[in-house]
A and B are shown apart, each in its own frame.
Chain A
Amino acid sequence: MLPNEIEWYFPSKINEALKLIKRQGVILHAGGTRILKTQTKSVKGLVDIGGLELNYINEKGKSFHIGSAVIFGEIVKYSRETGNLKMLGTALSNAASTPLRNRITIGGSLKDFPLWSNLYAPLIALDAKINIINSKNTIIPIEDYVSKGIIKSKHIIKEIVVPSDKNLIWGVKRFTLIRFEYPLFNIAFSLKMKDEIIEDARLVITGVQGRYKRFKRAENILAGQKLNEELIGNCEKLITPKFIADYKYSAEYKENVAKVYFKDLLTEIAGRK
């Protein structure tokens, strides 16, 4: 339960919002789904992003600029209606539930990055960039946002820039036993092809120790090759995701099943031409 006297702010300018969240105990409010679960007594003020005009999906050249206030449900709908952003849309269509997808925002989900996130794997696989505003306006790769600790700083996310997946062969897969569950991991693969040859591969898993991992060694042996069963087998040997055990699954099981899913997804992608 949030404390009784919370101040609400409804700024119309990003700079205003930025100034506000620099105060102690004042945080951003997007969909609100995580605030109720993670933030309680320490919160003194909530800065609603609704007035900051961050709710847009713009196609610019071969990329899509998605404002941080866009909800998951909107991306799913957009991808189904336009045929764009299919990889991201597919991954997000499995997240949480229909009503929750009507509240979870891109920005909120990026800032939070829980282990079960459906968002990060496809974004990293697509080499998406994130535009954040702290003292200045910076655009950085999503991986840097996490690995360089920027995620922990006080900032406002303006938008993400997601390259088109139209000319990629991609796949997303996650491990759950039932539909409404926190997935053990999410994997996302994207392959840039020239004729039958793989030019560039990005293989990502989230939910592992350290939150995410690029299977760079496997990506390297894929580059310049034709995707076949033998190659997939060689890749599989290089897959060693490290997990933390929890009360339901051992680390060993998670590692084994991640390997199985890795192979399943690559095989599935290879089947699509």
Chain B
Amino acid sequence: MRLNFNVNSETKELELNSNETLLDVLRNNGYTEVKCGCNEGECGACLVLLDDKPVNSCQVLAMSIKNKKVKTVKGIGTLFIPHIIQKTFAKAGADQCGFCSPGMVIASYSLLKENPNPTYEEILEGLDGNLCRCTGYVKIIEAVEKSAELINEKN
């Protein structure tokens, strides 16, 4: 069937089945920036914002989110208009293979929106649903700290 969804501030008709997860629906409709790492809600690669809250899209049944707003990493910043967080991540070396990066950016974006001056502990909690095997997290945490600094400077 086809239903209207609000993705990245656009209302679009997406193709879906009644049993599909939001991850499946997004990827099948061209939003391949949302990644699948485990399909079990354990790795965070599939993170999207649902009404501004980060969720594992592989654990959300698409039919249940009808009137909610979905944001993927491209709704936060794009290659030509990247968000400060994305620029900072790239500069800090917080992305190696990049597979966890969209999810990390979404988690960081949501964290910093809620809490523009997070403590170290609060950053760790904000990232507690995102796995990374390449970086050992060190530069990711640094990137979030730096992002907070830069966003606050800007404001």
Interface residues, chain A, with chain B CB atoms under 8 Å away: 1-8, 29, 31-33, 35-37, 46, 48, 50, 73, 93, 96-100, 102-103, 179-180
The reply to whether B17 and A102 form a contact with Cβ atoms under 8 Å apart is no
A114 to chain B, nearest CB (A): 14
Report how many residues on chain B are interfacial, defined by Cβ distance under 8 Å: 27
28 cross-chain CB contacts under 8 A: A4-B18, A6-B19, A7-B18, A29-B61, A32-B59, A32-B60, A32-B61, A32-B64, A36-B21, A36-B58, A36-B61, A37-B40, A46-B64, A48-B64, A50-B64, A96-B129, A97-B128, A98-B54, A98-B126, A98-B128, A98-B129, A99-B41, A99-B47, A99-B54, A100-B41, A100-B56, A100-B59, A103-B60
Beyond the given A31-B59, A99-B47, A100-B129, please list 13 additional residue pairs across the A-B interface where CB-CB is below 8 A.
Answer: A2-B61, A4-B17, A29-B64, A32-B59, A32-B60, A36-B58, A46-B61, A97-B128, A98-B107, A98-B129, A99-B107, A99-B129, A179-B128
The reply to whether A99 and B19 form a contact with Cβ atoms under 8 Å apart is no
Q: 3 closest A-B pairs (Cβ-Cβ)?
A: A97-B129, A2-B19, A99-B129
For the A-B complex, the count of residue pairs with Cβ-Cβ distances under 8 Å equals: 76
- Chain B residues, Cβ within 8 Å of A3: 19
The reply to whether B55 and A102 form a contact with Cβ atoms under 8 Å apart is yes
- Chain A residues, Cβ within 8 Å of B127: 98
- Chain A residues, Cβ within 8 Å of B42: 180
- Chain B residues, Cβ within 8 Å of A100: 41, 56, 59, 129
A102 to chain B, nearest CB (A): 4
- Chain A residues, Cβ within 8 Å of B64: 8, 29, 32, 46, 48, 50
- Chain A residues, Cβ within 8 Å of B21: 36
Q: Does B44 contact A (CB under 8 A)?
A: yes
How far is A32 from B40 in the complex, measured between Cα atoms in Å? Answer: 12
- Of chain B, the residue at the smallest CB distance from A98 is B129
A76 to chain B, nearest CB (A): 9
